[in-house]
Amino acid sequence: MADIIQLLPEYLANQIAAGEVVQRPASAVKELLENAVDAGATQVQLIIKDAGKQLVQVVDNGAGMSPTDARMSLERHATSKIRTTDDLFRIRTLGFRGEALASIAAVAQVELRTKPRDQDTGTLLLVEGSQITSQQPVACPDGTSISVKNLFFNVPARRNFLKSNAVEMRHILDEFQHIALANPQIAFSLFQNDLEVFNLPAGKLGQRIVSLLGNGYKEQLAACEEVTPFIAVRGFIGKPESAKKSRGDQFFFVNNRFIRSAYLNHAVLTAYEGLLPKDTFPFYVLFLDLDPKSIDINVHPTKTEIKFEDEKTVYAIVRAAVKQSLGLHNMAPSLDFDGDVNFAPIQPLRLSGDQKSSFDAANFRPDALASAASAAAQPTPREPRSNSGSTNRSDAYERQVPPRPTDQAKRELEEFYKSLSQLNVPDVEREATAIGVPVPSAAALEAAQAAAEVPVATQLPVTPVVQVVPPTPQLPLRDAAGAGVGSKVLQLHQQYLLVPVKSGLMLIDQAAARERILYEQYAQELQRETGTSQTLLFPRTVTFSPQDFAILREVEEALRALGFRFTDFGKHTIAVEGIPADVPARDEKELLEGLIEQFRNSAGPVKLERREQMARALARRVASNAATARLSDTEMTALVDRLFACQVPGYTPDGRRTLVMLEMNQLQSFFTS
């Protein structure tokens, strides 16, 4: 039998390794920026063209490399940071495996210029598909400049899997943001297609957060610090009122390396428990510094997931640090143990004859009653006691306990409350609106009141007005068999609708039903590209983070097809001029942030078309805003009819049930078992 196992060619092995390290242009950005930080640079410049597909260039003023080091840096597993096995457990640098440059050079055309500070000339290397085509001395500034051109030029299949420019640029912004936040002492700049996107001067962490994420964070930052012998936690957290619908502003760094950890994120959310609005996420930038021996950072190719030796201790300390910061900045509810929590005794309100005659029930105001009660509750000054000795027990009791009300005071108080209970102030506006009668103006009401005070003999005859309330229209419903039912729909806890049908009882989740109705409406509008829009009286500006703004550009076409109208209004800012017609005009920023967050996380295991995603996201967002609304009989009936007019009335777009049928035999079994 012939031997069939053989070593892979070097170029093929490099391409396979590149598949793990270089997945998209953002992967090259991450590796090159980390190398610049490890080289001790104080200024780093990132230049991007065509979302990294055409060019990714990183220029730094770090230590630079000699000609030999420059050539060796392109070999696989060539590193200056690991010498022995023990070094693996003392890693504090970002790059250490020696795979980045070799993997990038295997799938791109690389131009490397580098010069150490103690040498007069630098080195120029040209690499194409792992093959060094040229090496020569060159005049260049101190530091290193690496240009990655035409990524995946020799692997067309990989290049075809790259997403749109907006998607790839969003991933590049993510990596740039992580490195810039972790190193505020380094000045960073980012250019996209010759336009400056960021220019971040060196400074403190708080300044870097504001300059990177926007001025809206300036008043929302709270310092967080907890130092123990095991771990040190430092950074900033956001105030609860600044929480957003999106998850994009949560950052964990372990030994200055960005990581993703659902476990530690849960610790932070637990510390915020009871302080955040529903479905919102707090902002935080937290740095964890601990012994490298107690963590393993080599468990994932991108090194964004690490393992802790003692996860429970890290969890507890992070949670305690965040909770302490919330308390120190008066953002957590606290109990006042020094205050007097005893209720003051209530004194009965006693009205004299003059006061009773001057009391006008029609002009009664609760605040006047409160002031009168407080005045009545003031203690009456006592006469000075003539005998100067010790007081007896009955006198002490008399000073501590208020006197009991007399029978006359009780009767007066009962008569007073009876007079209040006889007041009948009808809701004129609501009743008139219900029957279509115009609501009288304030001037008309004053004129009517003045006429009522005129003696009967002098009043003009008034034609009586008969109030006719039209019956509520009962729209025919459809039961499970499709038969019409005229029974009344009932609402339960402002969440569910109970519909009697021939075969039993139907329970409808009104939020899920609304989501199905809106989804099919939005899907049709996206297909026709004729979404109706309601114009805002005044345009409202909304500022996004760079990542969210990139997603907004991604879905701009779908948003406009749904009825959103907006224009650019500065850096990462838009002016919203109109929103879809059936969306309540409340908080456009919250609505758009929620859509972006759902668009980011709603893809799931099934790849959805972009417009399909947007229709689902907007339907769920609008339906959730009115999940617990009180509906009138007409609204409930219309909701049921519109649900059964849908193509798939029984389920929401993501597969949740909108209704449940209870057959008569099921209902009977509840009482016979």
pLDDT number for residue 396: 43
pLDDT, residue 15, reads: 72
**Bigger pLDDT: 599 vs 658:** 658
Token pair belonging to 505: 């009882």
Q: Which carries the bigger pLDDT value, residue 138 or residue 618?
A: 138
Given a cut of 70, whether residue 366 has pLDDT beyond it is no
Measured distance CA(299)–CA(556) in Å, rounded: 38
Of 15 and 276, more confident: 276
Q: How many CA atoms lie within 13 A of 559 on its CB side?
A: 21
Residues 15 and 83 in one domain: yes
Reported as a single tens digit per residue, the pLDDT across 242-263 is 888 777 689 999 999 899 888 9
| pTM summary value | 0.63
Quick one: 157 and 118 in the same domain? yes
Q: What is the predicted pLDDT for the residue at 416?
A: 63
| d(C-alpha 392, C-alpha 387), whole Å | 12
320 shares its domain with 188: no
**Quick check: 231 pLDDT over 70?**
yes
pLDDT above 50 for 431: no
Is 550's pLDDT higher than 70?
Answer: yes
By residue count, the chain amounts to 673
Say what the pLDDT of residue 236 is: 94
Same domain? For 122 and 236 the reply is: no
> Which residues on adjacent β-strands are paired with residue 491?
497
Does 299 map to a domain? Answer: yes
* Assigned domain for 118 exists: yes
**What percent of the chain shows pLDDT beyond 90?**
26
Whether residue 196 has pLDDT greater than 80 = yes
C-alpha 604: how far from chain center: 19
68 belongs to a structural domain: yes
Residue 60 forms part of a structural domain: yes
Task: Give mean pLDDT, residues 326-336.
Answer: 65
Is the pLDDT higher at 173 or at 488?
173
For residues 246 and 617, is the Cβ–Cβ distance under 8 A?
Answer: no
Q: Which of 321-330, 361-370, 488-497, 635-644 shows the lowest per-residue confidence on average (mean pLDDT)?
A: 361-370
Q: What is the pLDDT of residue 228?
A: 92
Q: Are residues 196 and 229 in the same domain?
A: no
| 393 falls within a domain | no
Contacts of 46 (CB under 8 A, 6+ apart): 29, 33, 56, 57, 58, 176, 188, 189, 190, 191
Please give the pLDDT value at position 419: 59
Domain boundary among 145, 180, 200: 200
Do residue 130 and residue 248 come from a single domain? no
Calculate helix-pair angle for 510-528, 610-625, nearest 10 degrees.
140
Confidence category of residue 363, pLDDT binned at 50, 70, 90 = very low
Q: In terms of DSSP bridges, do strands 496-501 and 504-509 run parallel, antiparallel, or are they unpaired?
A: antiparallel
Percent over 70 (pLDDT), the chain: 70
Position 390 confidence tier, pLDDT thresholds 50, 70, 90: very low
Residues 105 and 243 in one domain: no
Question: Do 531 and 637 have their domain in common?
Answer: yes
CATH number at residue 594: 3.30.1370.100
Contact in structure between 555 and 603 (CB atoms under 8 Å):
no
Last residue of one domain, picked from the residues 313, 328, 343: 328
pLDDT tens sequence across 252-303 = 999 998 998 889 999 999 999 888 877 788 999 999 999 888 887 766 666 6
Domain with 645 in it: 477-664
DSSP E strand stretches across 87-153: 109-115, 122-128, 131-138, 143-149
Q: How confident is the model at residue 463 (pLDDT cuts 50, 70, 90)?
A: very low
Q: What does the pLDDT read at residue 501?
A: 86
Closest CA to 175 of 44, 369, 324: 44
Contacts of residue 71, defined as CB under 8 A and 6 or more positions apart, other chains included, come to: 125, 132, 135
Q: How many domains does the chain have?
A: 3
CB 148 within 8 A of CB 56: yes
The one-character DSSP state at 78 is -
Select the more confidently predicted residue: 437 or 615: 615
3-state secondary structure of 463: coil
d(CA 519, CA 646): 10
Q: Which of 29-43, 365-379, 558-572 has the highest mean pLDDT?
A: 29-43
Q: How confident is the model at residue 475 (pLDDT cuts 50, 70, 90)?
A: very low
Q: 627 and 491, same structural domain?
A: yes
Q: What is the pLDDT of residue 342?
A: 39
DSSP symbol at 293: G
In a domain, 131, yes or no: yes
d(CA 12, CA 18): 10
Q: Give the three-state DSSP class for 475.
A: coil
Amino acid at 626: A
CATH number for position 118 = 3.30.565.10
Question: Are the C-beta atoms of 299 and 254 separated by less than 8 Å?
Answer: no
Check whether residue 18 and residue 121 sit in a common domain.
yes
Ranges 250-259, 588-597, 657-666: which has the least confidence: 588-597
83 and 178 belong to one structural domain:
yes
Between 183 and 415, name the one with better pLDDT. 183
Evaluate whether residue 47 is within a structural domain: yes
pLDDT in tens, 439-452: 444 444 444 444 44
Same domain, 212 and 185: no
The mean pLDDT of the chain is 76
Query: Is residue 150, in this structure, part of any structural domain at all?
Result: yes
Judge residue 142's burial from the number of C-beta atoms within 10 Å of its C-beta, 0-12 exposed, 13-18 middle, 19 or more buried.
middle
Segment holding 396, helix H or strand E: helix 393-400
Residue that terminates a domain, selected from 328, 355, 374: 328
Instruction: Report the chain's terminal Cα–Cα distance, integer Å.
Output: 74
Report the C-alpha gap between 88 and 455 in whole angstroms: 102
Give the mean model confidence (pLDDT) for residues 53-63: 94
pLDDT class of 481 with cuts at 50, 70, 90: very low
Q: What is the pLDDT of residue 204?
A: 93
Buried residues in 203-216 as b, exposed as e (16+ CB within 10 A): eebbebbbbbbbee
CATH number at residue 306: 3.30.230.10
pLDDT at 170 over 70: yes
